[in-house]
Structure formats: C-alpha cells, structure tokens
A and B are shown apart, each in its own frame.
Chain A
C-alpha cells in the first residue's frame, strides 16, 4: 500500500511573458515507511514538488495532476482539511533551521503547539510531551532547554528541534528539503542519521531532497533524479548509482567521482541549466547531452521501465537512448 501517490503533477506560474512550468508532469509512488531521495540542480523543481505536496505553494501557483496521501486526493482539498493534515499526517523540515523557528517563542511552546492543535492535548500535557520529543532528538536537559528561545541553540540543535516538531504527531510522510545544507559538515551526518532512525522507528515515509547524490544514496532506498521539472531517472538507489542509464545521471555521477577521486581537473556538465521561462523542446537535457540524437529535440521522452528485480519494477528512465543489451 503506497502512502503517497503523485501522478502527472504540474506546477506553473503565470508571468508577464506567459505561463511557465516549474514541475512538468511528475509521477511517483512511495510505500509505507519507505524512503525516496530527490536529487537535482537548483531550479529543477525539487522544492516546488515538496511544497505542492504540502499544499504550501504561493497563491499564484497553478497545480494540476494528482497527489494522494493514503488514497486521499490532496489537490482541490479545502484549506481547512489540509490544515488538519499538515503537521499531523504530513510534515516538513525546511532548509534553514536558523530562520525556520519563531525567534519570539520558546521552543517548548513551538513543539507543544502542534500537539495541542492535532492531538487535543492541554498546555501542560503538551509541554511534558515536548520535553520527551526534545530528549528523543538528542537535546540534553530538555526540561530546562524547552523554556529557551531559538537563538540560544546551535544550528544543529535547532534542526533537531524542527525534526522533533515535525515528528511530534507521528506523521505518515515527512518531507525534508535540504535539511543539512545550512549546517556544518560535521553536524550533517548526525542530523541525517537521526532523521533516518526516527522515521524508521515511527514508520514514517521519508522524502529527502538534496543536490548531494552521495547523501541521498546513503539515506534513501529509492532515488529520483530531476531535471527542469521532470523525472530523468528513478529506481532503487544502488541500481541508479551503479547502473545509471540516463546520460544526465551518468554525468552527475562523474562529477561526484571527481570530487572524491584524486588529481586532475573536476569534470563538469557543459552548458547551463535551462531557463524555465523558455525550456528547450523535446528532452530538456538534450542541449547538454553527450549522446544527443536528432529526435531528442523534438519528442519529450516519457519515463519507461528498464529493470525488474524479483518481479517488481525497480528502475525507470526518461531517455530515447536504448539501453545496451
């Protein structure tokens, strides 16, 4: 049974030069307690996808397609019904823990607020439970610290607090949008470990968004590579990494190997990410692709299955190139 079912998701914004699409027909599923990493360059539509699932896109965004949580359609749902789901079944951890907490409210209150809202706890019960949650996320002396304000915590601690807040009601799905980008490298790993172990403990499905393939592959069972608002490749993490089928994935992996490999110039993907106001026709990656064929600029490739493991579909790729036999 899949927790999340996204199909043909499209997000677009009207502008003076016409409507431009930032997410262009995205489809994927996520099983209960499973994990999916979404990778892509800035502007590839990762965060827009996350906000669309949360129903927190700006007012002028136009969304179409379907987003189902436990079978319930979220698109077109009333704000009141979405408010009932957000924080309870659907939770999100944002990129910058320094600005994501209200600086004028004690962290205990900020966590307690979710519990009062969704679980009908009294202020006293909520305060006690927030201490437990702080303890669970590794904040020492939670009783005393819950009465402190965000500026009295380090960046890593603040992200722990935000994780405690997001997991307070045991959500079905947690979306973490670059949760460690703003943090020290030394803290990143600990936060990611915490995120993974807590999600497993609670049985929460996790979507982790990052531009760091290495982080994603270590954290998530599944991986999706996005480019220009579209899915390029998706599958089990190890398969995508070891048997990358899409030229874009392969190019990304080469840049990664160079970072961890020794001498020599860093390999880069030539060209620039597409301008979403005027994306290239056909496959959006074709102007930068080394394997480009004539019809790549004309026909948009749809994701097609390439591999099966134990009878289940395990890898999809959106490319005209035939896999080597």
Chain B
C-alpha cells in the first residue's frame, strides 16, 4: 500500500497548517465581537452596578482583554468552550452538541440535493448545447444564483405551505419540514454546480481524447460515460469545499427564516445577545468543519487525478 504514507504525511501537514488559520479566525472573531457596542448583560433591566460588576467578575469580563483572550484560548485548547452568557447553566459545547445534528441533517440534504441536481442539470445542458433544454436549464441556474434566499424562502412558503398546504411553513417536525429549507439552501449551490458542470463537460466534449474514444468505436454516450465524466467532475469536486462554506453561511439565514432549532439560529441569537462564548464556539466549530471538508476534497481530488500522484 504505497499510497498510505504520502496520504498520511499530506493530511498531517494540512492539519498542522490549519492551526494558525484557526488561531487567526479565533482572534479576529474574539476582538471584533468585543468591539461591537453593548455587552452580554446589557439587556438585563436595572441591574445594580455592584451586582453587575459581580456578574462580570465571575465571568472574568473585568480582566484586561488580552488576559481574557489568553484564558479563552487555554480553555479551547482543553476542549472547553466555556459557559454560555445568555443561556444560564448551559455550556457552549452542550448547545452545539444539541443543535448541530439538526443543522447537519439540513446541510447534508442540501449538499446532496445541490450536487445531484447541479451535476444532472449541467450534463443535460451540455449534451444538447444551445438547445431549448440548455437555455431553459441555464436561465433557471442564473435565477437560482441571483435570487437571494430570503426572497425565495417566503415565496416558496407562500406557494407550498399557504396556498397548496403540501408542506409545513416552518419548524422541525417530520420529513416534510426538511423539504423547503433544504431546497432553498441548495438552489444557489445547485445552480453554481450546474454552470460549472456544463462548462467543464463542454470543454471535455471538444477534447482530442474524446475524439480518440469515438474513433475507437465507442458510441457518443459510451464515450461520454467512460471518458468524459471523471474529468468533468474534477472542477465540481474542487468546488465542494467552498460549497460547504456557502451552505453553512446560508443555513444561518435559512434556519432563522424557517424557525429551525439548529446551530445557525444559535449563532444569530448569540451575536444579537453578545453571547461572546457562544459566537466564538460556533465560529471555531464551523471553521474546523470547513477546513476538514477542504482537506477531504483535496484528498478526493488527488485520488481521482493520476497526474497529482507521485512518480513511483
């Protein structure tokens, strides 16, 4: 198994190089959210100054900022994201563990929806270039990219939940409640992947090696399946890292609109409440997730493209 060692070395290198990246993200978030006006306990009504000082001391908010930062990093290094400032008696880790499965389910549904829908649409469009089908699919893709999710979501709710009453307008109960949010979340990514797939396949369809395949006696569809699919999908695969990041960002809005008790909603309420530790926790968690996805994508890409292999 000659490939295990280079893969292991590559993974280790990437994980090590992720540490400074994450550190930078943590630092930026930490100081930025503290620059934002207000603090975690400002909404409490008429707190006596000494009580307030007492609370802040118990959360070490009276210490100099750099000392707080050091204390926080120390906690994170031990796997402790600290207590939430807003949800009393709850640890940030608990909140993440509790709400992430919901976001994961929504995100994965959207991920596969975007991948399957996007690739299918892109391939169908490229195979009949400049046909009605091509133009229709690409107009749809253009709309998918252009229409913001906070516009699309209410329109879908109006149609499918209010008028047709096929699907729930929000909440998180049963399979039906996944459909609209996952679709809204997936659409722009599906559209982007469709355009990417189309351009990529058109490029391959005009390539010399596909003509060689036809000259060997493969039919057009055989040539496309056996020789064009893999090179067509490579750019799509390298987009999956950024796509994950886009889905995570999108889920923050989508979960808010559809009232889904996921991590994205905690992120928004956390930011509004100046719940410093909660926001930091979610940022670190999502940051790691994106770094991990990018690593996975790079490994997949290297596995698929023989030209990246080391010479034996």
Interface pick from A78-86, A215-223, A275-283: A78-86
User: Assuming the A-B contacts A149-B306, A151-B306, A152-B311, are A100 and B212 also in contact, with contact meaning beta carbons closer than 8 angstroms in the complex?
Assistant: yes
Contacts A87-B215, A105-B227, A114-B217 given; indicate if A100 touches B307 (C-beta within 8 A): no
List chain B residues, Cβ under 8 A from A99: 207-209
Is there contact, CB below 8 Å, between B227 and A114?
Answer: no
B306 touches A104 (CB 8 A): yes
Q: Which of A96, A104, A151 has the most CB of B within 10 A?
A: A104
Say whether A246 faces chain B, with CB atoms less than 8 Å apart.
no
Contacts known (A100-B209, A103-B231, A104-B230); A117 close to B307, Cβ less than 8 A: no
Q: Mark A81-122, 1 if CB is under 8 A from B, else 0.
A: 001111110011010100111111100000001100110000
Q: How far apart sit A103 and B231, CA to CA, in the bound complex (Å)?
A: 9
Assess whether A94 is in contact with B230, with CB atoms less than 8 Å apart.
no
B residues near A152, Cβ cutoff 8 Å: 311
B305 an interface residue at 8 Å Cβ cutoff?
A: yes
In angstroms, Cα B187 to Cα A167, docked, is 49
Question: What is the size, in residues, of chain B's interface with A at 8 Å between Cβ atoms?
Answer: 23
Q: Which residue on B lies nearest to A168, using beta carbons?
A: B216
The answer to whether B124 has its CB under 8 Å from any CB of chain A is no
Chain A residues with Cβ below 8 Å from B227 are: 102, 105
Hey, what's the 0/1 contact readout for B202-236 against A, CB within 8 Å counting as 1? 00000111011111111110000011001100000
Q: Which residues of A contact B311 (CB under 8 A)?
A: 152
Is B304 among interface residues, defined by CB-CB distance under 8 A? yes
Judge whether A54 and B215 touch: CB under 8 Å.
yes
> B212 contacts which of A79, A84, A94 (Cβ < 8 Å)?
A94
Instruction: Decide if A86 touches B212 in the complex (CB within 8 Å).
Output: no
Closest to A56 in B: B214
- Smallest CB–CB gap between B76 and chain A, Å? 42
A94 touches B217 (CB 8 A): no
C-alpha spacing A85/B216, complex, angstroms? 9
Contact A103 B214 (CB under 8 A): no
Tell me the complex Cα distance, A112–B226, Å: 13
Chain A contacts for B309, CB-based, 8 A:
149
Select from chain B the residue with minimum beta-carbon distance to A86: B217
A36 within 8 A of B: no
B217 close to A101 (CB less than 8 A): no
CA distance A91 to B217 in the complex (A): 9
Please indicate which of the listed interface residues B214, B215, B226, B307 has the most CB atoms of chain A within 10 Å of its own CB. B215
- Cβ of A162 within 8 Å of any chain B Cβ, yes or no, is yes
CB pair A87–B208 under 8 Å, yes or no, is no
Query: Is A224 an interface residue when CB atoms closer than 8 A count as contact?
Result: no
Q: How far is the CA of A162 from the CA of B212 in the complex (A)?
A: 9
| Proximity string of chain A (160-176) to chain B, C-beta cutoff 8 Å, 1 when within and 0 when not | 00100110000000000
Q: How far is the CB of A263 from chain B (nearest CB, A)?
A: 41
User: Is B216's CB under 8 angstroms from A165's CB?
Assistant: yes
Q: Please name all residues of chain A whose beta carbon is closer than 8 Å to the beta carbon of B305 when the two chains form the complex.
A: 104
B219 contact from A80, A100, A113, Cβ within 8 A:
A80
Select the residue from B220, B305, B306 with max chain A CB neighbours within 10 A: B306
**Shortest CB distance A87–B (Å):** 3
Q: Closest residue to A89 on the B side, CB-wise?
A: B217
Q: Nearest Cβ in chain B — how far from A188, in angstroms? A: 19
| A118 with B217: CB separation less than 8 A | yes
Asked if residues A87 and B306 are in contact (CB atoms below 8 Å), the reply is: no
Q: Which residues of A contact B216 (CB under 8 A)?
A: 86-87, 113-114, 117, 165
Q: Which residues of A contact B212 (CB under 8 A)?
A: 94, 100-102, 162, 165
Nearest residue in A to B304 (C-beta to C-beta)? A104
- Of B207, B209, B218, B220, which contacts A117 at CB under 8 A? B218
Could you pull out 11 A-B pairs where Cβ atoms are within 8 angstroms? A80-B219, A86-B216, A86-B217, A94-B212, A94-B215, A100-B212, A102-B231, A103-B307, A104-B230, A149-B309, A151-B307
Q: Which residues of B contact A (CB under 8 A)?
A: 207-209, 211-220, 226-227, 230-231, 304-307, 309, 311
Given contacts A83-B217, A86-B217, 19 further A-B contacts (CB under 8 A): A56-B214, A56-B215, A79-B220, A80-B219, A83-B219, A86-B214, A86-B216, A87-B215, A88-B217, A92-B215, A94-B212, A96-B208, A102-B209, A103-B307, A105-B227, A113-B216, A151-B306, A152-B311, A166-B215
